[in-house]
Chains A and B, each alone.
Chain A
Amino acid sequence: MIAIVNHGLGNFRSVISAIEYLNKDVVITNKSEVIKKSSKIIIPGVGSFKYAMQNLKKLNLIDTLNEQVLVKKKPVLGICLGCQLLLNYSEENKNIKGLGWINGEVKKFKNIKKLPSTHVGWNEVLRENDPIFKNLPKKFFMYFNHSYFPVIKEKNCGLGNTIYSNKFVSIFKKENIYGIQPHPEKSQKFGIIFLENFVKNDI
């Protein structure tokens, strides 16, 4: 069973629809016991880094998530804001710490000249090799919608790059922890293939 962590800020219904389409058991939860029983964890998210972290703290989920991901090594996928929460902190609010599972920070798109300040729409991901990309072409389109982006400071964690004014890491991984900035649940067939690889394969 896949557990979708409900911290209050996200398009949870869309993620559930995509996993159900793949015929996988999925539950949306904000309870430690349910997360402990799951086989894999997805942390979606749309919105403020600060409020999402505050909610995770209020729900007493941080210790459980740390144990499940860092000790038990359960596969976890952070989507959009969810992938940003995996890092140390966000420029949005430096006093609020992220989960800090991967060394990195979240920055705002600035000085991007002719481009709009929000990166919204379909853009390409140029990928490396990893089991999460099974059956996906070397370059594929995904749906992005964000004005902050991840900056990964650990070596060998970048799996996919995207260009919006400058190049940034749009998909990353460290051991059992995956992060993806675009929305696979809203990226048509390539997104569905990506999610299928995460939920069905041994990764």
Chain B
Amino acid sequence: MEKDKEKTYKKDSLKGTLFSVLAVGGFILLSWFTVWSLFLSRI
């Protein structure tokens, strides 16, 4: 029973999730640094 569970778990592919999370994270980083550089350019 336990083994079966582990097997299904291992088969799960998280590639799509990884890509989505990194895409959202990348967008947040990019916008954060854009706003920060705008702030620095106006000091």
Q: Note whether A and B form a binding pair.
A: no
**Which residues of B come within 8 Å of A, CB atoms?**
none
**Which residues of A come within 8 Å of B, CB atoms?**
none
